[in-house]
Structure 1
Amino acid sequence: MSHSISRRAISRRTLLAASGGVSLATLLGLSACSNGSTGSSGGTAAKNLKLLLPGAVPDGWDAVLTAVNKKLQDDLGFTISPQFINWNNYGNQALLKFTAGENFDTALQARWLNMSQLAGSGSLVDVGPLIDKYPNLKKTLNPKLLELNKWSGKLWGIPQVNSAGRIHHFAIRQDLAEKYGISEISDYATLEKFWYDVKQRDAKIVPIALSQNQSNLTCVPGPVAMFNAHAWENPSRIGQSFSGNSMPFFLAADAKTSGSSSPIPFWDEPGVVDALRTIRKYYQDGIINRDALNADAATTKGLFTNGQTASAWATTDGLSTTTLLPGLLKAVPSAKMANVVPLKGGKATKPNQTFQSDNFTVLNAKGASNENAMKLEDWLSIKENHDLISYGIEGKDWKPVGDDKFQQLSTYAFPGFALCWRTSLERRSAAMTETEADWFTWAQDYENFTVDTFAGFIPDVTPVKREDAQISQAFTQYGNPLFFGAVDVDSGLDKLKKAVSSAGLDKVQAEMEKQANAYLAENR
């Protein structure tokens, strides 16, 4: 998603998106029917664009939407009607709307959602040839970003990024850490000590609450995982899977030199089973919440902002302060917050990254007007307009601090990552914690990361589509209880292994190897 877990696509693997995919050969043949021309609806529908956005309706949204639509009408002659869909349902509902041919214009999509499937079915517009026509949009998009996010030459959406790389980590109650005599947390062992201190000394506070969307983020490296100490020390591995919620494989670390990918199931990757045992212990010790399998992201965010938990999921996008701290300070005026990224080597680590965008704004090929949808993206690339929808009503929701910062005056929080993230236009919160500012600055530099060997590899699910769908179902049924510590590790992992084996693991693993080896041969 990448700020609070209710506002962001927390990973390619976060939502329980529908399975499926299509061949890249099919993707290559779609530009004739999805080339950015005006959609079939036309007429008055083109005067009011419908947008699909994830999460809850932002506080104060009605006033902001009124101001946005007044300015849009004056400037471009049309308005927008966003529909907000709860994170837990977004993946499936967005897919159903596309496949049912509903009339809407833009949506959040990603590989970890249904983007491959939608591109292959002709549901999306290749925006690559269109961007040059929209100068405001073009100047906010780094050419390297566009090139890295093409799929076999096609750009199936506008990449939404505000940094070069993204590392999942934690926002913690720094006031509690200081209360326990911990001035700074820079390694996983100290972070774990903090959680146990919370449990022992502030029994009414849950050390960290997880939501059902986080799934294998807890243990499977990408290149780090929440409770995987080995990955925090060795952030050089990123799993590959055929579809959004399918089982990840890890490819050989020496694949670039050997030419052999030799994929292994995620449980054979060093550190993963140890992480599962750690999670199980946390579950039994009360370090994590016992209802994670059913808890939604908005609820767990609320627990942190109400002062009921001591840690929250975060990512290096500079938005933890704005989405978490205002609410926390209302509940606990003396609270402090810090971002903890427990990489063993700190900012000198250079974790692996693919540099593929986590999120894209895609155009519905059946939308009322693809042209107006692109005009909207161009309009949102003007600082005044970007500020309005991103931060709300100036003087009411925020006020500028210089040219590149803002002071938040309300709890308005818009999911810009789904529509209008523009690296050069994003303002930093004037209240951004020092720790978050340091890590956000670090994350904006491509030189602070290592390009993953398989950065441009996009597996084609077509040859194993049936098996992958069955594995995805087994992965959800037997994997999620493991990832949240709700079952014994040995018996739970054994059930998962048997289920995915019966679903066709050998065939899927062989196909992954075949495609990954072909990718290596093409890119040597």
Structure 2
Amino acid sequence: MKRAVIGTVAILFLSLLFALFSHYINPGSSQSPGPLHSDTADNAGKDVPESFVTLKVIMPGDQSSRMGDFVENELNDRLKKDLNMNLELTYIPWSNYQQKLELALSTGEDYDLFWYGAPFVSVYYSKGYIQPLDELLGQYGQDLVKHIPEDNFKQNRIDGKLWAIPSQAFTSAGKFSSVMVRQDLLEKVGMTDIETIADLEQFYQRMHAIDPSYYGYLETDRGHELLWRELTDRNYSSLDERMLFMVDEDSGELLSYVESDLYKKVAHLRESWVNKGIIDMNLVGNPAAKIDQENAGKLLFRVGAVSRAMENLQTARNADPEARLREYYLAKEKPKYITTPSNEAFMITSASKNPERAMMFMNWILQSKENYNFIIYGVEGKDYVLDNGKIKQLTNDQLMYEWMWRNKDYFIAPANVEDDVIEDMLANDENSRISKLSGFHFNEAPVKNEIAQVMAVYKEKFEPINFGIASYDQYYDDALAALKKAGFDIVFAELKKQFSEFQRQH
């Protein structure tokens, strides 16, 4: 009896020592997503949760008929079996996604999960809309960690904590600095490729002479980095989509874009495009109309995104079965920079009632190639078939956006996309460089009032200049004076302070 007691005490003592010591040999997940213990990885996901929940997810776009049917039937049947949950998707049209999403987040509606681009992670962190994910990832995210590189997670860390899942793990250099064109129409007017801004203008002029119903079009809320490649000898990357600040990739200096000579060049160019009809006045500032024109096959070119020629092909062919798309970089001898290894970010809201199940769902998608193909492409034989190792879709209806989850371990090329387009995409990151901005997050909390005032002025006075509908020469000085009065210099000083600290630590 005595011997048994001594043995029991010894076991308890050794267990306590191991528990204490293991903290040092395997730090908690708050430091890094890192690999999980093998026993956790082996067992996680096999035990179906006891309670049934409805997971509420916000997504951009319009839900297709088949997507609605798929969620209600095949997908929710599978999720009930695997995760004891039901998926409830709320789609918000792209044209007002940010506005309506922020309204839902600011009023504390009980959504669990939502998507946005990586630059918005720090914005929603500053506003308190999202929750840290380290413990959830450590407990339920072993397949996310397995199939998404650690560097992708690092970009979503702020103050030592993880705030978003970087769902995409694929090529990303030079994202939003290329131009996507209707290659079939380019060849129709006797051209083969795009190398310069003059080529884009010539493409529009030749096509417009044949059929004036086509629009030139280059997003006025994006695309500035595309033009930078030709308009300056320097290598610049934009801080975020608001187009206020940029970094000089050669010197590492943070600069005010709106006060630069480069901004003036871009504004003058866009103003000339409005005068030439390349930018149509009826489309400026009307996202819904621009989407309608693209869906109708009437846009000759738009900003590229590394893989947009592949992603948008089906939309183009719905309007014109002969459509072909291709992406090009201006000044292609210049380097491409990786600012965010994954531009796609899924965040769990602060108001979520089911954060554990949200992480389980995210992990489930990458748990197997079967799950990945299922949620993105649907039911094999009904929604798609495999054709010589490529995906051939049997319906034109969009299911889950493939680009949000594109993963190097599971990627399958679409059967209808030309091999040279796929080769361009897969080779995109060759000879690329890591941006000076990679991993940097601007904490706007110290200047949140000034930021709000600055952005209000920017939207009122700078966006018309950006669009090319207000003359730079006539309106710029007044716009800049108003921006300064709103607190622009205070925001810039705080930004430079934080960026300098970031540079010292890296």
TM range (shorter): 0.7 to 0.9
| Mapping for residues 135-284 of structure 1, pairs under 5 Å | 135-166=142-173, 167-168=175-176, 169-208=178-217, 210=219, 214-215=220-221, 217-219=222-224, 224-225=225-226, 227-228=227-228, 230=230, 234=233, 236-240=235-239, 245=242, 248-252=244-248, 255-256=251-252, 261=253, 263-284=254-275
The answer to whether the aligner puts 1:401 opposite 2:400 as a matched pair is no
DSSP 3-state at the match of 1:448: coil
Over 3 Å counting, the alpha-carbon distance change for 1:240 and 1:165 in structure 2 is same
Checking the alignment, whether the CA contact within 8 Å between 2:149 and 2:169 is kept in structure 1 is no
DSSP 3-state at the match of 2:237: coil
Q: Distance in 1 between matches of 2:218 and 2:196?
A: 20
Q: Distance in 2 between matches of 1:466 and 1:86?
A: 29
Q: Distance in 2 between matches of 1:505 and 1:255?
A: 23
**Residue in 2 that maps onto 1:339:** 326
| Mapping for residues 83-122 of structure 1, pairs under 5 Å | 83-110=90-117, 112-113=119-120, 115-120=121-126, 122=128
> Based on CA coordinates, which of the two structures has the bigger radius of gyration?
2
Q: Distance in 1 between matches of 2:261 and 2:51?
A: 54
DSSP 3-state at the match of 2:147: coil
Over 3 Å counting, the alpha-carbon distance change for 1:209 and 1:254 in structure 2 is closer
Q: In the TM superposition, what whole-angstrom CA distance separates every residue of 1:391-430 from its partner, at most 9, and x where no partner exists?
A: 2333333222345x30122222245379644332232212
Q: Output the amino acid matched with 2:323.
A: K
Q: Distance in 1 between matches of 2:373 and 2:476?
A: 48
Checking the alignment, whether the CA contact within 8 Å between 2:391 and 2:415 is kept in structure 1 is yes
| Mapping for residues 353-502 of structure 1, pairs under 5 Å | 353-381=338-366, 382-403=368-389, 405-416=390-401, 420-443=405-428, 445=429, 447-502=430-485
Checking the alignment, whether the CA contact within 8 Å between 1:161 and 1:417 is kept in structure 2 is no
Checking the alignment, whether the CA contact within 8 Å between 2:126 and 2:443 is kept in structure 1 is no
Q: Distance in 2 between matches of 1:275 and 1:149?
A: 31
DSSP 3-state at the match of 2:282: coil
Q: In the TM superposition, what whole-angstrom CA distance separates every residue of 1:19-44 from its partner, at most 9, and x where no partner exists?
A: xxxxxxxxxxxx8xxxxxxxxxxx99
Over 3 Å counting, the alpha-carbon distance change for 1:52 and 1:435 in structure 2 is same
Q: Output the amino acid matched with 1:392.
A: G
Q: Output the amino acid matched with 1:281.
A: S
How much does 1:353 deviate? Answer: 2.2
Query: How many residues align structurally?
Result: 454
DSSP 3-state at the match of 2:157: coil
Checking the alignment, whether the CA contact within 8 Å between 1:250 and 1:269 is kept in structure 2 is no
How much does 1:254 deviate? Answer: 5.3
DSSP 3-state at the match of 1:80: strand
Checking the alignment, whether the CA contact within 8 Å between 1:280 and 1:484 is kept in structure 2 is yes
The answer to whether the aligner puts 1:300 opposite 2:290 as a matched pair is yes
**Residue in 2 that maps onto 1:313:** 303
Q: Output the amino acid matched with 2:56.
A: K
Checking the alignment, whether the CA contact within 8 Å between 1:50 and 1:106 is kept in structure 2 is yes
4+ runs of 1 displaced by more than 6 Å?
A: none
Checking the alignment, whether the CA contact within 8 Å between 1:46 and 1:369 is kept in structure 2 is no
The answer to whether the aligner puts 1:329 opposite 2:317 as a matched pair is yes
In structure 1, stretches of 5+ residues that fail to align are: 1-30, 32-42
DSSP 3-state at the match of 2:190: coil
Checking the alignment, whether the CA contact within 8 Å between 2:244 and 2:258 is kept in structure 1 is no
What value does the CA root-mean-square deviation take over the aligned residues?
Answer: 2.8
Checking the alignment, whether the CA contact within 8 Å between 2:59 and 2:89 is kept in structure 1 is yes
DSSP 3-state at the match of 2:469: coil
Deviation larger for 271-280 or 299-308: 299-308
**Residue in 2 that maps onto 1:131:** 137
How much does 1:367 deviate? Answer: 1.6
Q: In the TM superposition, what whole-angstrom CA distance separates every residue of 1:433-473 from its partner, at most 9, and x where no partner exists?
A: 34531331123x4x532112232322222332221111101
Q: In the TM superposition, what whole-angstrom CA distance separates every residue of 1:229-282 from its partner, at most 9, and x where no partner exists?
A: 535x757211336xx64x5223455545xxxx4x43213445332221111111
Q: Distance in 1 between matches of 2:160 and 2:51?
A: 31
Q: Distance in 1 between matches of 2:414 and 2:258?
A: 40
Over 3 Å counting, the alpha-carbon distance change for 1:123 and 1:406 in structure 2 is same
The answer to whether the aligner puts 1:60 opposite 2:59 as a matched pair is no
Checking the alignment, whether the CA contact within 8 Å between 1:361 and 1:418 is kept in structure 2 is no
Flag the structure with higher helix content. 2
Higher relative contact order (CA 8 A, sep 6+): 1
How much does 1:165 deviate? Answer: 1.6
**Residue in 2 that maps onto 1:287:** 278
Q: Output the amino acid matched with 2:325.
A: A
DSSP 3-state at the match of 1:328: helix
Q: Distance in 2 between matches of 1:338 and 1:486?
A: 29
**Residue in 2 that maps onto 1:38:** none
Checking the alignment, whether the CA contact within 8 Å between 2:180 and 2:301 is kept in structure 1 is yes
**Residue in 2 that maps onto 1:36:** none
DSSP 3-state at the match of 2:427: helix
DSSP 3-state at the match of 2:500: helix
DSSP 3-state at the match of 2:386: strand
Q: Distance in 1 between matches of 2:75 and 2:388?
A: 23
Q: Distance in 2 between matches of 1:511 and 1:372?
A: 38
Over 3 Å counting, the alpha-carbon distance change for 1:306 and 1:473 in structure 2 is same
TM-score (norm 1): 0.79
Q: Output the amino acid matched with 1:408.
A: Q
Checking the alignment, whether the CA contact within 8 Å between 1:125 and 1:365 is kept in structure 2 is yes
Q: In the TM superposition, what whole-angstrom CA distance separates every residue of 1:360-407 from its partner, at most 9, and x where no partner exists?
A: 11112332221111111121112222212212333333222345x301
